[in-house]
Amino acid sequence: MTQPDSAEKDDFDLRNFLPFLLNQAAEESSLDFQKVYKNRYGMLRTEWRVLFHLGNYGEMTAKQIGERAKMHKTKISRAVHKLEQRRYLRRTRDENDRRMERLTLTPAGLTVYRELRDIARDYDARLAGMFTTGEAALLRMMLRRLVGMD
Amino acid sequence: MTQPDSAEKDDFDLRNFLPFLLNQAAEESSLDFQKVYKNRYGMLRTEWRVLFHLGNYGEMTAKQIGERAKMHKTKISRAVHKLEQRRYLRRTRDENDRRMERLTLTPAGLTVYRELRDIARDYDARLAGMFTTGEAALLRMMLRRLVGMD
DNA sequence: GGATAATAGTTGATTTTGTAACTAACAACC
DNA sequence: GGTTGTTAGTTACAAAATCAACTATTATCC
């Protein structure tokens, strides 16, 4: 592993490249939590995202979830189907605009959501525990800014 | 979108959940740069990652790349094949241990690497420009810690 | 030194994602 | 009020990721 670019100065360092670091961190930070909803509930990432949105925000349409989660509508469509099959959510067509349907969690879905939410909360605390309170707050703030949430 | 959990206090906020935020930020921050290597060189994410590792660190084996990039070996195997087809890299079997092969960029591969590296550098600067110098440094530090790089 | 286990990398089958075309319902415009 | 354009969501097909089984080579250990 010699530097091929030692002649020209290659001051670029992949290990500090933000998109790379963010991807690594995202991957790493999702892994343990993923095991829970995957092994315990047989859910995919797309599915828990939909579940979490409905649990956290309440009734939403597929469109709205797509906007908030930045997920493509086909992913959502399929996730909704799976969650419906498992009786975690119910869909009711909007009578004012019959193109869209209102999605809500069933009691069973809400139970699962609450369980996963509690685990998520602990998990988040564990991650945040790697930093001081101020640092963690700053981290969230910066990530929100990167995402355009502020 | 009413809060279904208003009875019990649901102080969990998906918008501040670190794994979610990290995923969003990673997605967002990869998108623009992805367009470059995708549209301009027809490369996949896996492929530019391998290319960047070889360009940035010099000669490596597939195994080593897998460890650093936390990519599964099948992904790497396929990415290496593609890059080889495009004559961006060359593989030579290690004579001491004939199971592995040393991967190096060809001059053509190095040229592409340098071009993408420069774009990456600019792009990174643009992202970092959303924060003060100190904040950006802290962000990188925190991400590295999350990834277990420190 | 020969059997057994481990390692580097590949291949094939399955699952998941991405892309584009589609249906159904509504909106806008003339 | 009918044509044209948009929007919500689905479906079909192609591309890519995941998982398990495989080959070839080296290491271990009796």
Q: Which pLDDT band, with edges at 50, 70 and 90, does B6 fall under?
A: very low
Residue type, B19: P
Residue of B nearest to A118 (CA): B12
Other Cβ atoms within 10 Å of A118 Cβ, number = 11
Interface check A108 vs B, CB under 8 A: no
Asked if strand D contacts A140 at the CB level, meaning under 7 A, the answer is no
Separation CA A19–CA A41 (nearest Å): 31
Token pair listed for A36: 């829970």
Within 7 A of a protein CB, which nucleotides of strand C?
Answer: 7-12, 16-20, 24-27
The DSSP annotation for B106-121 comes to -HHHHHHHHHHHHHHH
Within 7 A of a protein CB, which nucleotides of strand D?
Answer: 7-12, 16-20, 24-27
Separation CA B129–CA B132 (nearest Å): 7
Quick check: B150 pLDDT over 90?
A: no
Distance from CA of B22 to the nearest CA of A (A): 5
Residue type, A5: D
Cβ-nearest to A17 among B21, B120, B139: B120
With residues binned 3-state (H G I as helix, E B as strand, rest as coil), the percentages for chain B, rounded to 5, are 65, 10, 25
Cβ-nearest to A145 among B4, B12, B130: B130
Separation CA A78–CA B6 (nearest Å): 29
Token pair listed for A142: 């910066």
- Tell me which CATH code domain A40-147 carries: 1.10.10.10
For chain A, give the number of residues. Answer: 150
Interface check B137 vs A, CB under 8 A: no
Separation CA B10–CA B141 (nearest Å): 32
Residue labelled with tokens 């605390």 = A125
Distances (CA, A) of A75 to A6, A44, A72, A81, B57: 45, 11, 6, 10, 37
Residue labelled with tokens 């500090």 = A16
Q: Which pLDDT band, with edges at 50, 70 and 90, does B7 fall under?
A: very low
Quick check: B51 pLDDT over 60?
A: yes
CB-based contact B54:B113 (threshold 8 Å): yes
Interface check B63 vs A, CB under 8 A: no
Model pLDDT, residue B29: 93
Distance in Å, residue A97 CA to nucleotide C26 C1':
7
- E strands, A2-150, are 60-61, 89-93, 101-105
B30-54 average pLDDT score: 94
Asked if strand C contacts A47 at the CB level, meaning under 7 A, the answer is no
B5-17 average pLDDT score: 76
Asked if strand D contacts B98 at the CB level, meaning under 7 A, the answer is yes
Q: Residue A2: name the closest of B15, B105, B119 by CA.
A: B105
DSSP 8-state code for residue B15: G
Asked if strand C contacts B63 at the CB level, meaning under 7 A, the answer is yes
Q: Which residues 65-94 on B are within 7 A of strand C at the CB atom?
A: 66, 73-74, 76-78, 80-81, 91
Instruction: Tell me which architecture the domain covering B36-147 has in CATH.
Output: Orthogonal Bundle (1.10)
Q: Which pLDDT band, with edges at 50, 70 and 90, does B8 fall under?
A: low
Tens of pLDDT along chain A (150 residues)? 545 544 466 789 999 999 999 999 999 999 989 999 999 999 999 999 999 999 999 999 999 999 999 999 999 999 999 999 999 999 999 999 999 999 999 999 999 999 999 999 999 999 999 999 999 999 999 999 999 988
Token pair listed for A18: 């933000």
Sheet with strand B101-105: strands edge to edge: B60-61, B101-105, B89-93
Distance in Å, residue B97 CA to nucleotide D28 C1':
16
Cβ-nearest to B25 among A22, A60, A114: A22
Model pLDDT, residue B32: 87
Interface check B38 vs A, CB under 8 A: no
